[in-house]
Structure 1
Amino acid sequence: MFIPPMLLQYAKNNEPFDDSSTFAELKWDGIRLIVSNLDELNLYTKNTNATSKYPELQNPPIPKGTVLDGEIVVLDEQGRADFEATNAGFRSSKLRKPVVFMAFDILYHRGVDVTGLPLEHRKQLLEDTLIETEHYRIVRPIEGSAESFFNIVCQHGLEGIVIKKKNSKYETDLRSMKSVRSWSWQKVINYQRTEVFITGYSKKEHSWLLGYPDGDRIRPIGAMELGITPSARQSMWPVFQAYKTGESKDHVYVQPVVRCKVKYRDWYKSGAMRLPVFEEFIV
């Protein structure tokens, strides 16, 4: 049985906060997965049935009648999530490394829908139901300050944290089979920031090409789509027209005369920037 996963909102200004009605837990950098072990076992991402893709998850340490929500990750030697390896394995079986399912919620217990119970209660049911193994683990709330926890997460280069209301229900829409994005769960992302050059734009998508200073050259680091406002696009259009240097089937290239500040998750091994977000021009 597929259940559309409950989605998060960004915390205001992407800043952590302390609130006695909430707790915080680590945000694992992987692929969302619903483990459904009702009449038969099915592993669902947001868009596909991935049961056959992950044989190491096909003997879950949970009884029949259980549905779990969590994240699949590939762990590096330091025990940190390697998103690039996780994503590569999802796209190609030849590149796949064994994954670990990080369970943070339980939706069905002994065949009964428990999404209407408070999260604190569901967390205890999860502890009672899931026996941790090499490939199945539990994501537990931390004790103490979410603000202090986020600082530690940043120091270790991890993705971020999630702040959840202790009494929150699991919000989903089974009628339309669509996910619900709720303020009961808020994410705070450990963004990095830097300055880059705008080196062109896509003909088909509303994205800009970026370059990063590397010695005496500007190294291509991919494209940016997020955060670009209509006014920013209007400001760049005369530049694109005046400083055009060439084009391909998909892109138009310009001289790197404009710099901007971006926030981003991290770097791919290929040298591309992961999920850059435009913040402002640098004058």
Structure 2
Amino acid sequence: MTKRPRKPPTPLLIDENAPLQSRPVKRRDPKQPHLPFDPMPDRVEPCLALLKSKPPQGDEWSYEIKWDGYRLAVHIEPTGVRIITRGGHDWTHRFPAIADAAKALGPTTMILDGEAVVLDEQGRSDFGLLQNSLGASGKAGGKLPSRNSILYAFDLLYLDGHDLRGLEYAARRHLLEDALDEQTGAIRISEELEADPDDFLAHACRLGLEGIIAKHRDRPYRSGRTGDWLKIKCIQSDSFAIIGYEPSTALPGAIASLLLGGRYRDGYKYVGSVGTGFKHDVARSLKKQLDKLKTKLPPVRVPGKNLVLTAPALVAEIEYRAWTNDGKLRHPSFKGLRDPEDLSETFRLPD
């Protein structure tokens, strides 16, 4: 069987001065699939991890470290980069190193889901260090850019015109690893670890980490706390509104403890006080900030004397061991202030 003779080369390939001419565009064959581009969403409500006491078992689950920082969505768009918080605020200017690293990933368009952290000397994420880098505990009032923060990316929601949220997590993870092949710089992959989940959790707790995350490999990306993602903590940590303080009698111009409230129905409910976890300079800074928020109409009634009650405008990140039978935090410790713009992080009590 003989081969068909090759067509002679077009004038364009043999004569660089020949004029460019296009052929008439043919109609699309109706039998061929249509592959329209998906518009990039302005914002994606994040998938949240459901708290469990033990990690799930089975090959359908993947496991990684639980990072202690700020949840961010990094939008890499044709017009630039936007960094959006869990509450929907644009914090691009607050994370310049992450923004620069995102720009370097272009001209690809994508949405990365991840956690911004600052690492301590042992390589552990430290929420207090992150807050200090953002100026949350100082005179700047939480308005400094964090230049030493890192984004650990753990999901890819959009890539080059395609919305990936309908894909199963395993496929999204594969695309994420292809998109981020570097493990240095301000954007890194939150690594999956192949290990027995009970042993992994125990090891994480021994290292002083916050806990681990388990993700179902076969599920799409669904906003909210659906149970597709689970968090198992070594120690409890949540955000509570500051509704007042007890002045210090030993340290002039400082607080002795903070009064805390959780969201309850349409208001707040008192969940106890915290008197550990802050140094002298932080105790003085907190008093100055809270004195500007004094109110004669507190959100809840708090038992005790010599207390200063305030509007619930500041949110504190608190570590604690458990809950008492009367709904108070057991062994709480102050970790740092959350940004006032991010009040959506405040812990909500069940009805």
Asked if Structure 1 and Structure 2 have the same fold, meaning a TM-score greater than 0.5 normalized by the shorter chain, the answer is yes
State the alpha-carbon separation in 2 of the partners of residues 249 and 93 from structure 1. Answer: 25
Name the residue aligned to 1:145.
Answer: 196
Larger radius of gyration: 2
Higher strand share: 1
Counterpart contact for 2:96–2:146, Cα < 8 Å: no
Match of 1:100 among 147, 150, 172: 150
State the alpha-carbon separation in 1 of the partners of residues 56 and 194 from structure 2. Answer: 14
Give 1:121 shift.
0.8
2:165 matches 1:128 = no
Corresponding letter in the other structure for 2:54: E
2:124 matches 1:80 = yes
Percent of residue pairs bearing the same amino acid type: 27
Counterpart contact for 2:93–2:145, Cα < 8 Å: no
Query: In structure 2, do the counterparts of structure 1 residues 162 and 246 end up closer, same or farther at CA, with 3 Å as the change threshold?
Result: same
Counterpart contact for 2:62–2:192, Cα < 8 Å: yes
State the alpha-carbon separation in 2 of the partners of residues 261 and 248 from structure 1. Answer: 20
State the alpha-carbon separation in 2 of the partners of residues 82 and 34 from structure 1. Answer: 20
Q: CA RMSD in A?
A: 3.9
Give 1:130 shift.
1.3
Counterpart contact for 1:85–1:96, Cα < 8 Å: no
Match of 2:166 among 101, 109, 116: 116
Query: In structure 2, do the counterparts of structure 1 residues 49 and 95 end up closer, same or farther at CA, with 3 Å as the change threshold?
Result: closer
Query: In structure 2, do the counterparts of structure 1 residues 156 and 227 end up closer, same or farther at CA, with 3 Å as the change threshold?
Result: farther
Name the residue aligned to 1:248.
Answer: 308
Name the residue aligned to 1:189.
Answer: 233
Give 1:20 shift.
2.3
Task: Count residues in correspondence.
Answer: 236
Name the residue aligned to 2:82.
Answer: 42
TM-score by length of 1: 0.69
State the alpha-carbon separation in 2 of the partners of residues 50 and 122 from structure 1. Answer: 25
Counterpart contact for 1:24–1:163, Cα < 8 Å: yes
Counterpart contact for 1:207–1:225, Cα < 8 Å: yes
State the alpha-carbon separation in 1 of the partners of residues 45 and 331 from structure 2. Answer: 27
Counterpart contact for 1:24–1:146, Cα < 8 Å: yes
Residue correspondence of structure 1 range 264-275 to structure 2 within 5 A: 264=332, 267-268=334-335
CA deviations on 1:145-183 (whole Å, 9 max, x unpaired) are 1111111111111111111101111113xxxxxxx2221
Name the residue aligned to 1:11.
Answer: 51
TM-score by length of 2: 0.57
Structure 1, unaligned stretches of length 5 or more?
173-179, 194-204, 212-218, 252-257, 278-283
